[in-house]
């Protein structure tokens, strides 16, 4: 017998303007920043019926005053002077002076619309009208500088929205998350000395050999003056990075910092050019991974606005946009099929080195990174192999400057994407029920159908009862009822992994956050179970206790794919942990011991599993960035 107990849906905004398809290169027909990026993304959203589940915001043009929050009057006037211009020679003369960018006669007005949509989406999530939202807009923005068009970008949509939030609305803490595969150098420049805006970027770098080839895209550029520590670059020095590499970066760096920063607003520069098959990024993220990253940010319970940036493999872009919107609406994330087929591997050695370098630079500024160090390593060396920080050309090409995949590789990746789409469950959340309560497990036959619910409460059942129902599927069990005092995690012969939170050393709420990100979430993505079972029992911890905070975090994060089982609770409803946590009291020694115990009992290599040992890093000299 089953009964629904909780029905709740986030309210999600969607903003776009179909006129944005008119922005196209006047110099070539095959430019990757093409109208189809917009039309196919919107088409995919509509195929899934997602637009019908959103609040549709009207588009509007940004004012010149709003643009000048970031851009100079000279920059705005140059763009305005080209409005309606269809003289290709004139456009060629202007844009050969800028790196990788174009305009046509429609572009100025469309760029105003893009910036205005970003601002209004930000205002909508802050007002409480909606909880989160997505802007499907172009031209993109995160490379557009104060007085310089750059990298397909005319005006910096996200930076303008962030500056509006702090200058016009009085916000003190805005987080920009930029997972476009190119470094958003213009967003970095805009807030490099401003502690009100924390800029976080994961980007392909290759020691400066990848566009935009800037020295200041490296991990040691952490801000300046009062903004020191508020600029975080995670440079990727190798192509082919996978879902689990990005997951490790979010767990070890972004989520701890975000929890300590306590943002009042999160803006995402959501490029999809790290996707499998993208010729510019040459990474291997699947569309489902973008949904998972969005879900992780949602668990910060902060107004969240996602804004489209890059992405040039059209099928991957369209699918990624749709899955991000599904996640914002509240659907469970699709399983990362290729991960389950091929197995989750350890993060790449290059990624692990980069994580250590970033943490070395940030450790003096963020309490969440204060941990005991097992081994003392020399300070990391800084390598730069790029050209742009040394010598910029006088003129840039205006066509045929973008990369292409070899034909055979393109066919192979398109086939892989098609297989992923065919195997990904996309009919989830047809029900509005977030929580489904079962008085008995008898009669349950279709396990897949249960995943339409985020939580499944088995009131009169035990962990073995639920395990028997689930069969041989890989399971992660988080047992809050256990009173174990030492071992925090172990694996059984039945392919299940147990984590015992009561066996963890949790002296304060901050320990709960850091333990979640350093231990439990990495375990989840390392073993990637098909089901998660959480036992609470009659002695459910109070919501403001360290154990209660950890329970809320587990229920939020580990229900990403739906179907998280709650066992032993007579009555239960999801709770939201507060971000009002003082990270001063993080127990570094206890956290280290928790991870050590888990690694040993699970037979894991601790050096591959945690951020320690960190290099011994002297105080870094402040880097001068020309704004």
Residue 14 confidence class, pLDDT cut points 50, 70, 90: very high
Longest distance between any two alpha carbons in the chain, whole Å: 76
Reduced to 3 states, what is the DSSP secondary structure of residue 455? strand
Give the integer Cα–Cα distance in Å for 398 and 449. Answer: 52
- Residues 532, 566 contacting (CB under 8 angstroms): no
3-state class (DSSP) for residue 332: coil
CB atoms within 10 A of CB 170: 9
Distance CA 588, CA 462 (A): 35
Query: How far apart are the C-alpha atoms of 281 and 242, rounded to whole Å?
Result: 12
Among candidate residues 553, 557, 559, the one with its CA nearest the CA of residue 576: 553
Q: Which two tokens stand for residue 206?
A: 């290759």
Q: In the predicted model, what is the mean pLDDT of residues 305-330?
A: 97
| pLDDT bucket at 339, cuts 50 / 70 / 90 | low
DSSP state of 518: I
Distance CA 48, CA 57 (A): 19
pLDDT at 482: 80
For the beta carbon of residue 576, count every other beta carbon within 10 angstroms.
Answer: 13
- At 418, the pLDDT band (50, 70, 90 cuts) reads confident
pLDDT tens-digit map of 135-170: 999 999 999 999 999 999 999 999 999 999 999 999
- What's the CA angle centered on 56, arms 255 and 167, to 5 degrees? 55
| 8 A C-beta contact, residue 121 and residue 13 | yes
pLDDT 10s digits, 491-528: 777 778 888 888 888 888 888 998 899 889 988 988 88
Catalytic residues, which ones?
143
Q: Which residues pair with 535 in a beta bridge?
A: 479, 567
Chain-centroid distance of CA 208 in Å reads: 23
Count CB atoms within 10 A of the CB of residue 232: 25
Dihedral sign for Cα atoms in the order 482, 488, 491, 495: positive
Compute the C-alpha angle 145/172/554, nearest 5°: 105
pLDDT of 238: 96
Say what the pLDDT of residue 379 is. 64
CA–CA separation, 471 vs 462, rounded Å?
A: 14
Q: How far apart are CA 72 and CA 85, in angstroms?
A: 21
Does residue 377 have a pLDDT over 80?
no
Token reading at 171: 């916000």
How is residue 339 written in tokens? Answer: 């991960």
User: Which tokens in the block code for residue 239?
Assistant: 């192509």
> Contact at 8 Å (CB) between 530 and 474?
yes
Query: Residue 413's CB: how many other CB atoms inside 10 A?
Result: 20
Reported as a single tens digit per residue, the pLDDT across 43-100 is: 999 999 999 999 999 999 999 999 999 999 999 999 999 999 999 999 999 999 999 9
The three-state secondary structure class of 185 is helix
Collapse the DSSP code of 532 into the 3-class scheme (helix H, G, I; strand E, B; otherwise coil) and give the result. strand
Residue 614 has pLDDT above 70, yes or no: no
Alpha-helical regions (H) of 424-507: 463-470
**Does 485 score more than 80 pLDDT?**
no
Q: Decide: 131 and 25 in contact? Cβ < 8 Å.
A: no
Sign (positive or negative) of CA dihedral 56, 58, 59, 61: negative
Winning range, highest mean pLDDT, from 188-197, 422-431, 450-459: 188-197
């Amino acid at each position: 017998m089953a009964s629904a107990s909780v029905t709740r849906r986030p309210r999600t905004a969607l903003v776009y303007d179909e006129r944005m398809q008119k922005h196209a290169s006047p110099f070539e027909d095959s430019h990757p920043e093409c109208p189809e990026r917009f039309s196919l993304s919107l088409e995919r959203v509509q195929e899934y019926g997602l637009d019908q589940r959103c609040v549709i915001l009207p588009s509007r043009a940004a004012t010149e005053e709003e643009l000048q929050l970031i851009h100079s009057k000279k920059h705005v006037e140059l763009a305005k002077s080209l409005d309606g211009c269809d003289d290709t020679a004139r456009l060629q003369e202007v844009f050969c002076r800028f790196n990788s960018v174009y305009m046509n006669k429609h572009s100025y007005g469309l760029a105003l619309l893009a910036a205005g949509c970003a601002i209004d989406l930000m205002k909508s999530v802050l007002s409480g009208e909606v909880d989160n939202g997505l802007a499907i807009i172009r031209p993109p923005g995160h490379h557009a500088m104060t007085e310089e068009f750059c990298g397909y970008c005319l005006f910096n949509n996200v930076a303008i929205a962030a500056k509006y939030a702090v200058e016009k609305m009085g916000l003190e803490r805005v987080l920009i998350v930029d997972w476009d595969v190119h470094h958003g150098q213009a967003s970095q420049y805009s807030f490099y000395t401003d502690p009100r805006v924390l800029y976080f970027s994961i980007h392909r770098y290759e020691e400066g050999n990848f566009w935009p080839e800037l020295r200041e895209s490296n991990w040691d550029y952490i801000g300046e003056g009062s903004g020191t520590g508020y600029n975080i670059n995670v440079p990727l020095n190798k192509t082919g990075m996978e879902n689990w590499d990005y997951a490790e970066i979010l767990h070890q760096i972004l989520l701890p910092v975000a929890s300590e920063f306590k943002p009042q607003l999160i803006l995402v520069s959501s490029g999809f050019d790290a996707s499998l098959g993208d010729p510019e990024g040459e990474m291997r993220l699947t569309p489902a991974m973008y949904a998972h990253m969005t879900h992780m940010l949602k668990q910060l319970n902060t107004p969240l606005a996602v804004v489209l940036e890059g992405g040039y493999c059209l099928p991957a872009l369209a699918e990624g946009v749709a899955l991000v919107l599904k996640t914002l609406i509240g659907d469970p994330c699709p399983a990362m099929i290729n991960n389950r087929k091929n197995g989750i591997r350890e993060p790449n050695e290059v990624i692990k080195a980069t994580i250590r370098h970033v943490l070395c630079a940030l450790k003096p500024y963020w309490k969440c990174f204060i941990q005991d160090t097992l081994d003392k390593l020399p300070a990391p060396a800084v390598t730069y192999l790029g050209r742009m920080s040394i010598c910029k050309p006088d003129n840039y090409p205006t066509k045929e400057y973008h990369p292409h995949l070899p034909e055979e590789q393109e066919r192979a990746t398109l086939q892989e994407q098609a297989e992923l789409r065919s195997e990904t469950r996309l009919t989830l959340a047809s029900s509005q029920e977030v929580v489904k309560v079962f008085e008995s497990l008898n009669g349950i036959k279709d396990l897949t159908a249960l995943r339409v619910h985020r939580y499944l409460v088995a009131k009169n059942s035990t962990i073995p009862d639920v395990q028997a129902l689930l069969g041989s599927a890989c399971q992660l069990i988080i047992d809050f009822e256990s009173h174990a005092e030492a071992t925090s995690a172990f694996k059984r012969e039945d392919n299940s992994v147990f984590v015992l939170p009561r066996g963890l050393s949790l002296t304060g709420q901050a320990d709960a956050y850091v333990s979640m990100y350093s231990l439990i979430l990495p375990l989840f993505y390392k073993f990637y179970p098909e089901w998660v079972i959480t036992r609470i029992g009659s002695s459910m911890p109070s919501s403001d206790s360290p154990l209660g905070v950890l329970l809320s975090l587990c229920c939020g994060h580990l229900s990403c794919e739906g179907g998280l089982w709650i066992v032993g609770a007579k009555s239960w409803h999801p709770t939201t942990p507060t971000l009002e946590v003082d990270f001063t009291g993080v127990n570094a020694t206890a956290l280290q011991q928790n991870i050590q115990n888990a690694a040993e009992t699970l037979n894991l290599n601790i050096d591959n599993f945690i951020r320690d040992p960190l290099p011994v890093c002297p105080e870094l000299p402040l880097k001068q960035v020309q704004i």
